[in-house]
Amino acid sequence: MLGWVTSVLTSEFVWGTILGILLSILTAHVTAKITRRQQRQNVKLFCTDLVENISGYIKEVEQNRIRNNDLIDFGFLNLIEVEVGIYSRNREHLILIEDASLRKDVREFFNDAASFVSNIKFSLQRAHEAHGKAQSSIPPESHKHAELAKEELKQAGKYCDRLRDVGATKDKLVDRLASIT
End-to-end CA distance of the chain: 56
**Predicted confidence (pLDDT) per residue in 109-160, tens digit:** 999 999 999 999 999 999 999 999 988 888 888 899 999 999 999 999 999 9
**What pLDDT score was predicted for residue 153?**
93
Cα radius of gyration (the chain): 29
* Residue 53 burial (C-beta neighbours within 10 Å; 0-12, 13-18, 19+): middle
Sorting pLDDT into bands at 50, 70 and 90, what band is 4?
confident
The predicted model gives 169-181 an average pLDDT of 93
**Torsion sign over Cα 41, 42, 45, 51:** negative
Task: Evaluate whether residue 92 is within a structural domain.
Answer: yes
Residue 63 lies in a domain: yes
Residue-level pLDDT at 1? 62
Q: Which of 160, 139, 166, 148 is nearest to 62 (CA)?
A: 160
pLDDT at position 51 over 90: yes
Q: Is residue 80 part of a domain?
A: yes
Query: Can you give the pLDDT at residue 171?
Result: 95
Alpha carbon 48 to its chain centroid, in Å, reads 9
The more confidently predicted of residues 73 and 106 is: 106
How far, in Å, CA of 81 to CA of 45, rounded? 19
Q: Is residue 8 part of a domain?
A: no
* Cβ–Cβ under 8 Å, residues 134 and 91: no
Identify whether the C-beta of residue 52 lies closer than 8 Å to the C-beta of residue 110.
no
Domains identified in the chain, total number: 1
| 33 in a structural domain | no
Higher pLDDT, 172 or 137: 172
Per-residue pLDDT, 137 = 85
Give the pLDDT of residue 13: 82
Between 64 and 7, residue with greater pLDDT? 64
Domain residue limits at 119: 38-178
What's the pLDDT score for residue 34? 95
Asked if residue 72 belongs to a domain, the reply is yes
**Average pLDDT, integer, range 41-64:** 96
Determine what percent of the chain is predicted with pLDDT higher than 90.
79
Share the mean pLDDT of the chain: 93
Residue 152, in any domain of the structure: yes
pLDDT at 105 over 90: yes
- Asked if 166 contacts 113 with a C-beta cutoff of 8 angstroms, the reply is yes
Asked if residue 101 has pLDDT above 70, the reply is yes
- CB-based contact 160:71 (threshold 8 Å): no
